[in-house]
Chain A
Amino acid sequence: MEILLGLAFLFFGGVIINVIVGAAGAAGKTVKAAAKTAVSSKSFKESMEEEFASDEFFGKLILRLQNKTKDGLEITEVMMKGNLPNITLKAYWGLKIYDITEHEKDAQKPMQPVVSAFNMFREPNSIIYHFESAAFSLTPGKTYLNFVPLAGFFPEMLSPPYSGKRKLRIMLFMGNANNPVQFTNGFFGENPPIYFLKSIETEINFKEKGYLEAIDDADESTTLGIKLAVAVAMADGNLDEKEGNTIKTFIKDNIAFYEPRTQDKLKKMFNDAFKLTFNEATNNTLSLSKIISRMNEIGTKKIKYDAIELCYDVMSADGVAEKSELEILNRIAKDLKLNKKMIDKIKDKSLLKLDSSKASSNLDIESILNIKTNWSKQKINEHLKNEFKKWNSRYQNLSEGKERDNAQFMLNCISDARKKYSE
């Protein structure tokens, strides 16, 4: 969000801004409305009036793309110069992006919409890229004398159907703010209330997997997440009832939004994976490396985080963090090559769910506290000091009850470790 709103400031100057959370109800409004925040109406109007102040040049409308870097993130601005339609209208600018790679080769093949990884740059009811500026008043005889940035996008946040070099058509249109253009899955219907439309093409190389490729893999990667969770649950040789129920709930949640036939298909697929992994773990034939390796091949970041979160939920389900469970979890987290800070956040939250009164003598403080035994004593003590600061603060801020008790339990673990590793 901060980056997104930074776009407005790229156009009109300033710094990245923060966003206060809207009051109850407002937060649930459509992303379409949210997307409008990218351009503030006041600045936009000022910008336009400045451009229209001179009548020295009246040329035809030209689009241009301009790449910039802001905070290490590439931004493509859509710039325009020339005459605007001779009408009076409460107007807005809209931007759509289509992948035309296949369409160019074979005109029978349709243009395909591009998906946005950013909620705020999406159509109201889909994940397809969509941008709308704030409304402004258009009167006849207006012209942009110089190139003016009207919209923009972050190439990194776009996902075309497939990876590799993709040809994109960037389409800028002017709509009526009182009767906005309606889109369905990226396309408008017949006779849309569009007053101006112009497009420009560009080519971008996408390294990440495209959305159609990822969709093909989605069910398999969810299955892999279930397998990893079963592996964690079975790390101590048994499947606790609460652990099993946690995986069951995950499966239920993951099939809930599909129509009945797909639900049945997915249910079977996920249940089979559950059973198979359970049997493999029981017979000591489970290969964690294979599951992780396949997950790294096909899993998106989101799916991987979902899987890790499920694994930690399973670990904390029975209230006990077994040494074997923590060891396997640390390995999965490391091998999935995810951001360590994010993993620590997920882990900390799961530790708060434990039942510290059940902590056994088998407790592995090194695994709980992420201590690598090959670290020097100095490094361990430095790490412990940071953990102590973190949990001491959390203890202070958590309400009375289990979570606070668990924060105290973590403080006790830290001081035991300090005792163990102090010189």
Chain B
Amino acid sequence: MSKIVGIDLGTTFSALSYIDDAGRPVVVYNDDGQNITPSCVHEIEKNTFVVGESARKEWGVSKKAAAARFKRDMGTTKTYKINNHEFSPTDLSTFVLKKLKQDSEKEIGKIAEASVTIPANFGHDAREATLLAAKNAGLNVKYIIDEPTAAALYYAYKEGKSLSGHYVVYDLGGGTFDVSVIKVKNQNIEIVASEGVSKLGGYDFDTELKKLVAKKFKEKTSQVLKDDEYNENDAENDKKSLSKRDKVRVSVGKTNIEITRVEFEESISSLIAQTEMLCETVLDNAKIKVQDIKAVFFAGGSTRIPAIVNSVKKIFKKEPISTVNVDEVVALGASLYAAFKNDGSLLTSTQKESVSKLSVDECTHNYFGTYMQTNDEETGQILLVNDVIIPRGKKIPVSITKDYYTPLNDMESIICRVTESKEEEKDIKFVKLIWEGELEFNSKRPAGTKISVTFSFTENKTMNCEFLDEETSVKKEIDLSFDSLHEQKNTVEDIDKFLVE
């Protein structure tokens, strides 16, 4: 039988899991024998690319022939150069997903359906870019799921009926940080609030450690540390050592430098301050007090850093729980999600039974709105402002209609816009315009014509919008789902020819 899988497309490492015959989520090992695959791409010879550990090693040595950490730029126009090739983050993610698919299919057989995880903080563009990468990799992605939600699902599955009440999922990975407050009853999970920072993770800690080593090296030798003398991989390895030991000795040529854990923790303290503010924010948004949180569950490799553990203890006044492999938990949760969302046709009775009690109630993480014209009370100027239609924290699926009116006589059309923001922003500068088009009327319409605007956010976290002139029934329907949009974007049709079989 074809398999249902869950994929954690991570900044530094990615993982794939499936539901085995006994109904348990299990991580599939890659061709290198690893449970997690470095999200790195390397051109080993002309037009031949590899993904994984060898690419990670190459990227540490030279950035010319390899690329990594591109997930943080998903949905942006940024490009990465590998030798003479220029790739978008979506293209590079396609390479990684293709590698996961190929390696896994050798182990478990054909993959029929997949769910892919994304950071809670991902906006519309990044979400759609992820879906496009999966499609280009030949995956049939039925659902996308937020990383902390996936982790919560796995913890709920594992702990079973022992969970009841409010919990926090703290997901600090290689590139992004997410924190969610969830409400669990038996194996039903309700996502109460979720927050995230796009660029905060292990990679940033590595960068700080590199700076610290460079500073000490300069103090000792008066020389500037070169990239090839101490690279990102060296910093990552030393960071991992500092999670276990009080100090590490870094050798740069003939120079030995000692870095203590205290020094390293001081160098990342500003970043930890950001995680703390985000934790406080998510508690505020969930309208819940620290004492009402039953436990904090960890996900992501960076939660192994002792300073992070201490910070979490300080904020939540309790010892965090990491009873599972924090590198795998998101992928494991993703496969559970894919399985329980499936109509059952791809599951055995044992697998069905395994996920039958699971359920997830998710909520919107962002605000969705449109532009409207208003008068600034303070200056008297007429302004274009963002007006929220779907607020953050609404249980999904959700559909909301709001009425607007045309300002002028004889209008033949209006511009319709769809916006997204993390906070309730009025200023259009600080919202993301995710769609813009025109509703053309059949005839000239008088001022005050009512336009009903309906925004619907689906279970798959995509948006459908309608701008309707009620009197004439003329409307503009917008499908912002992946399937309707992907044809407008560039695709990497020739990605297969680059891959090493």
Q: Which residues of B contact A22 (CB under 8 A)?
A: 373, 406-408, 411, 414-415
Task: Flag whether B274 is at the interface (Cβ < 8 A).
Answer: yes
Known: A1-B407, A23-B415, A301-B378. A411 touches B274 (CB 8 A): yes
Known: A20-B404, A23-B414. A339 touches B431 (CB 8 A): no
Check B270–A416 contact: CB distance below 8 A: yes
Q: Which residues of A contact B387 (CB under 8 A)?
A: 18
Give CA–CA (A419, B198) in the complex, Å: 20
- Of the candidates B281, B371, B408, the one whose C-beta lies within 8 Å of that of A33 is B408
Task: Flag whether B121 is at the interface (Cβ < 8 A).
Answer: yes
Check A415–B270 contact: CB distance below 8 A: yes
Shortest distance between the CB of B408 and any CB in chain A (Å): 5
Q: Which residues of A contact B373 (CB under 8 A)?
A: 1, 19-22, 27
Shortest distance between the CB of B37 and any CB in chain A (Å): 27
Q: Which residues of A contact B22 (CB under 8 A)?
A: none
Q: Which residue of B lies closest to A394 (CB)?
A: B430
Question: Which of B277, B402, B413, B446 is most buried by chain A, counting CB atoms within 10 A of its CB?
Answer: B277
Residues 390-410 of chain A, each 1 if its beta carbon lies under 8 Å from chain B, else 0: 101111111110000000100
- Of the candidates B77, B121, B411, the one whose C-beta lies within 8 Å of that of A400 is B77
- Of the candidates A1, A23, A40, the one whose C-beta lies within 8 Å of that of B412 is A23
Task: Flag whether B429 is at the interface (Cβ < 8 A).
Answer: yes
Check B374–A33 contact: CB distance below 8 A: no
Task: Flag whether B78 is at the interface (Cβ < 8 A).
Answer: yes
Check A395–B412 contact: CB distance below 8 A: no
Check A18–B414 contact: CB distance below 8 A: no
Task: Flag whether B145 is at the interface (Cβ < 8 A).
Answer: no
Shortest distance between the CB of B175 and any CB in chain A (Å): 14
- Of the candidates B73, B281, B429, the one whose C-beta lies within 8 Å of that of A385 is B281
Give CA–CA (A120, B273) in the complex, Å: 48
Check B379–A36 contact: CB distance below 8 A: no
Task: Flag whether B382 is at the interface (Cβ < 8 A).
Answer: yes
Check B277–A384 contact: CB distance below 8 A: yes
Give CA–CA (A395, B408) in the complex, Å: 35
Task: Flag whether B11 is at the interface (Cβ < 8 A).
Answer: no
Shortest distance between the CB of B474 and any CB in chain A (Å): 14
Stretch at the interface among A2-10, A79-87, A95-103: A2-10
Check A415–B273 contact: CB distance below 8 A: yes
Check B270–A21 contact: CB distance below 8 A: no
Known: A21-B372, A33-B408, A418-B277. A118 touches B421 (CB 8 A): no
- Of the candidates B121, B406, B410, the one whose C-beta lies within 8 Å of that of A396 is B121
Task: Flag whether B256 is at the interface (Cβ < 8 A).
Answer: no
Task: Flag whether B405 is at the interface (Cβ < 8 A).
Answer: yes
Q: Which of A277-334 contact B (CB under 8 A)?
A: 301-302, 305
Known: A21-B414, A134-B447. A392 touches B77 (CB 8 A): no
Give CA–CA (A120, B380) in the complex, Å: 10
Q: Which of B293-336 contact A (CB under 8 A)?
A: none
Q: Which residue of B lies closest to A305 (CB)?
A: B379
Task: Flag whether B109 is at the interface (Cβ < 8 A).
Answer: no
Q: Is the interface of B mostly helix, strand, loop or mixed?
A: mixed
Task: Flag whether B375 is at the interface (Cβ < 8 A).
Answer: yes
Task: Flag whether A75 is at the interface (Cβ < 8 A).
Answer: no
Task: Flag whether B460 is at the interface (Cβ < 8 A).
Answer: no
Q: Which residues of B contact A338 (CB under 8 A)?
A: 378
Task: Flag whether B344 is at the interface (Cβ < 8 A).
Answer: no
Q: Which residues of B contact A5 (CB under 8 A)?
A: 405, 407, 448
Give CA–CA (A134, B28) in the complex, Å: 70
Check A385–B277 contact: CB distance below 8 A: yes
Give CA–CA (A7, B422) in the complex, Å: 33
Check B451–A118 contact: CB distance below 8 A: no
Known: A21-B414, A37-B407. A400 touches B78 (CB 8 A): yes
Check B375–A422 contact: CB distance below 8 A: no
Q: Which residues of B contact A395 (CB under 8 A)?
A: 198-199
Q: Which residue of A lies closest to B450 (CB)?
A: A17
Check B374–A19 contact: CB distance below 8 A: yes
Task: Flag whether B269 is at the interface (Cβ < 8 A).
Answer: yes
Q: Which residue of A lies closest to B76 (CB)?
A: A400
Task: Flag whether B173 is at the interface (Cβ < 8 A).
Answer: no
Q: Which residues of B contact A27 (CB under 8 A)?
A: 373, 408
Check B375–A18 contact: CB distance below 8 A: no
Check B448–A8 contact: CB distance below 8 A: yes
Q: Which of B405-461 contact A (CB under 8 A)?
A: 405-416, 420-423, 425, 427, 429-432, 438, 446-448, 451, 453
Q: Which residues of B contact A390 (CB under 8 A)?
A: 423
Residues 113-130 of chain B, each 1 if its beta carbon lies under 8 Å from chain A, else 0: 000000001010000000
Task: Flag whether A107 is at the interface (Cβ < 8 A).
Answer: no
Task: Flag whether B228 is at the interface (Cβ < 8 A).
Answer: no
- 5 residue pairs A–B, Cβ–Cβ below 8 Å: A20-B373, A21-B371, A27-B373, A399-B77, A416-B273
B interface residues, Cβ below 8 angstroms from A: 73, 76-78, 121, 123, 197-199, 269-271, 273-274, 276-278, 280-281, 284, 370-375, 377-382, 384, 387, 402-416, 420-423, 425, 427, 429-432, 438, 446-448, 451, 453
When A and B form their complex, which 9 residue pairs have the shortest distance between CB atoms, in order from nearest?
Answer: A393-B422, A37-B447, A393-B423, A418-B273, A1-B375, A415-B273, A40-B448, A23-B413, A415-B270
